[in-house]
Amino acid sequence: MNDKFSQLYQKVVMEHARTPHNFGELEDFTASGEGDNPMCGDSFKVYVKVVDGVIAEAAFTGAGCAVSKSSASVMTEQVKGKSVDDIKTVYEKFQEVVNGEVAPEDADEKLGDLLAFAGIAEFPVRIQCATLAWEALMEALD
């Protein structure tokens, strides 16, 4: 398979897709949001527990492709312990990377595993796969 495709489906992505972290409904969530992609039928619900403006817990349910599922998994890991304002900044930076506006090597290191999704910029039709869970999160935080 060609490099760009293999880059997209790299180890981190495949691992999170196969065994997603934080998969399941939160028992005591304070907010939730939904993200649907009508083009492919992918659909996720994201739950957060916000305490004093900080995300204490995050989880998700739903179904989708490897990219959307692993993105949801990585996202829920990354947002824990961050303030709602910080998360909005992270999302902005993440969008810059997946849209190919900022090269992964120039991106903020704090994005961590989120940078695994940089390869999606090569496949514009799939960018929404990487951002679907984020849309649901933003709805929850609004």
Q: Which residues bind other proteins (CB under 8 A)?
A: 1-2, 5, 9, 11, 14, 39-43, 63-69, 123, 126, 129
Q: Residue 40 Cβ, how far from other proteins at the closest point, in Å?
A: 5
Closer residue to other proteins, CB minimum distance, 41 or 112: 41
Residue 114 is which amino acid?
L
Number of Cβ within 10 Å of residue 81's Cβ equals 11
Q: Residue 89 Cβ, how far from other proteins at the closest point, in Å?
A: 29
Q: Residue 41 Cβ, how far from other proteins at the closest point, in Å?
A: 4
* Six-digit token string for 93: 């930076």
Closer residue to other proteins, CB minimum distance, 65 or 138: 65
Q: Residue 70 Cβ, how far from other proteins at the closest point, in Å?
A: 11
Those residues whose C-beta lies under 8 Å from the C-beta of residue 139, and which sit 6 or more positions away, are 33, 34, 35, 46
Number of H helices, E strands in the chain: 5, 3
Those residues whose C-beta lies under 8 Å from the C-beta of residue 106, and which sit 6 or more positions away, are none
Number of Cβ within 10 Å of residue 142's Cβ equals 8
Closer residue to other proteins, CB minimum distance, 8 or 87: 8
Closer residue to other proteins, CB minimum distance, 75 or 79: 75
